[in-house]
Structure 1
Amino acid sequence: MPERIARTHSGPGISIVELPVELGYLVESLWWHPMHERDPAHAWLRRLAAEAGRALDR
């Protein structure tokens, strides 16, 4: 899992260790079919995912 998430949710019994190899930068994306563009529930889920991503960047 990404280090920023591991550090946010670490606790007793969880160890965070350096990887033996360099993985580079992880890019995460969401894709959806255009037919869902105006679906209110789908729009809500996209907003929720975007807010979660912005919160992780802080």
Structure 2
Amino acid sequence: MDTLYGRVAGLDVHKDTIVVCVRTVAESKTTRMCRTFPTTTEQLEALRAWLEEERCTH
């Protein structure tokens, strides 16, 4: 049996930006949020913080 995660993120990495989409599933309702982050150190830390806020671990 496959393991299904309720919160996942996908990252599309480019030279100057990273596009991140977080998908959550709760009670048969799927929600998707996408954000774009520049690749500066400050913004990579903001990306990490956003994923932590969304409780995304996979």
TM range (shorter): 0.3 to 0.5
Larger proportion of helix:
1
> Which of structures 1 and 2 has the bigger CA Rg?
1
| TM-score (norm. length: structure 1) | 0.38
